Amino acid sequence: MNETLRDPKMRMAVKMRAGAAQKVVTEVEKKGRKASKETRRQQLIEATIDSLAKRGYAETTLADVADGAGLSRGIVNFHFESKENLLIATLQYMADEYANHWSSALEKAGDRAANRLWALVLADFDRKICTKRKLAAWCAFWGEAKSRPTYQALCGARDVKYQETVISLCAALKEEGGYSYAPEAMALAVCATLEGLWLRLMMGDGTTRENALAAAIEAIVALFPMHIARNGPK
Amino acid sequence: MNETLRDPKMRMAVKMRAGAAQKVVTEVEKKGRKASKETRRQQLIEATIDSLAKRGYAETTLADVADGAGLSRGIVNFHFESKENLLIATLQYMADEYANHWSSALEKAGDRAANRLWALVLADFDRKICTKRKLAAWCAFWGEAKSRPTYQALCGARDVKYQETVISLCAALKEEGGYSYAPEAMALAVCATLEGLWLRLMMGDGTTRENALAAAIEAIVALFPMHIARNGPK
DNA sequence: AGATATTTTGAATGAGCATTCAGCAAGGAT
DNA sequence: ATCCTTGCTGAATGCTCATTCAAAATATCT
């Protein structure tokens, strides 16, 4: 596919367009090999996410990633040594991005448990995180995670902290409000709901980001009626 | 792996063991080529589920499936024509089994909406359906579904009827009980919760079938407090 | 500028795998 | 017993892909 990219001149054009979009980074990159290396790695990771989203895990090839990045066939092995390493780096990148996103949302939300829970839910369906391509890439990894300890560890690490956070929020709300649930069970249910909605978004039945967010809100409003209303924490 | 299976005599031993476990079927199978063909297909589908669970979608090979079934390398193409067909048949089989399971649970539950919803939740975490190997196989397909229309259709078909059912149950309960939610959003949330719990079970963090069921119950008790208590529908 | 180090290329290599097919085995029919 | 049908086998084929590497391009240093 896209045979035009096999032509070096065409490739250069792609590279320059990409460069134009990040002018500042490019300036810094000119001097200093380290920066350049990181940039290239980043570029390849993005191309990997694209390929995972477009073709799925099983059909993702290094050739496709290289084409997507507008670079040559041997490039991945130069920067990542192996396909496996590239995929691990990609998952790592997504996991970090996700964790940073919800942690910073949590910080901004302040101290009240209701505000914090609300912020977590909104963060999960934020445009930055909740993209078709990224959801698809996540799901590609989930599909392989069970049989690959490395992926499992990276996906799992994502969840452990998140779920602990949700458990403590559920416990705090119970304390405040007089609910009767078991915090661990309720937290598991909340996390599962959010993940399940992601799965739905990805599967491409009619569900949209807005539907999903609405469903998530409906659920937490019903689960924590003393603390959360449809338009936000009380 | 398992080089012993390359030896025809060893294979025969495997075949006979498998045969012993289904003595009655074997008797019928002896006469009648059609029955035999179906049996063989079934056997290969089971081996495919095993392989998907053990090695993931990307690493599942026809050689592995054939070894798992105790048969020779060419066998899949003889019975299914191609790997793709085998995988589609496998997904089809799982989708049918799942649909039959919850439909019959629904029938047994009678007319009251609360009973029916409760039955659906229990059915999802039934030992027959909710096995490590089957969950793993489901997830393997989910991971590829976005980039393969055929899988998407089969996974999607699973959900459409299910979700319509849940929507109508939510609508009925709202009617009866005076909840204020939007039935579509609430149904989406309920379905997502159940699917998310499946995902969690599969990912092999500590979640067990019992934890997952407990979380699901906690959720629907909180979502439908007028109709459902922890020990069942009111 | 010239020399050196770094990054990139793309053709070659070889491994793994799905698929094919000529032939074997086991019944059943004549 | 012999033929025919059907199911099955496993070696051979050819294709796709990750990986390697010598050579080219480019950047950095002296």
pLDDT for res B156: 82
pLDDT for res B130: 96
A5 vs B84: which has the higher pLDDT: B84
A6 vs A192: which has the higher pLDDT: A192
Most confident of A9-13, A172-176, B158-162: A172-176
The residue among A225, A167, A231, A229 whose CA lies nearest residue B226 is: A225
Hey, is the C-beta of B92 within 8 angstroms of any chain A C-beta? Answer: no
pLDDT for res B12: 52
pLDDT > 80? residue A117 = yes
| A116 Cβ within 7 A of any nucleic strand C atom | no
Question: Average pLDDT for residues B19-27, to the nearest whole number?
Answer: 38
pLDDT > 50? residue B27 = no
pLDDT for res B14: 55
pLDDT > 60? residue A19 = no
Q: Which pTM does this prediction carry?
A: 0.89
pLDDT in tens, B69-92: 999 999 999 999 999 999 999 999
Hey, is the C-beta of B216 within 8 angstroms of any chain A C-beta? Answer: yes
Rounded CA-CA distance B109/B219 in Å is 20
| A71 Cβ within 7 A of any nucleic strand C atom | yes
The size of chain A, in residues, is 234
The nearest CA of chain A is from the CA of B195 a distance in Å of 5
Rounded CA-CA distance B206/A180 in Å is 24
Compute the Cα dihedral for B61, B63, B67, B73 and give only its sign: positive
Q: Are A203 and B147 within 8 A, CB to CB? A: no
pLDDT > 60? residue B68 = yes
Residue A164: list chain B partners with CB under 8 A: none
pLDDT in tens, B127-159: 999 999 999 999 999 999 999 999 999 988 778
Among A125, A166, A203, most B C-beta atoms within 10 A, so best to mutate, is A203
- The nt closest to B60 (CA vs C1′) is C17
Residue A50: list chain B partners with CB under 8 A: none
pLDDT > 70? residue B8 = no
Question: Average pLDDT for residues B38-66, to the nearest whole number?
Answer: 97
Helix (H, G, I), strand (E, B) or coil at B116: helix
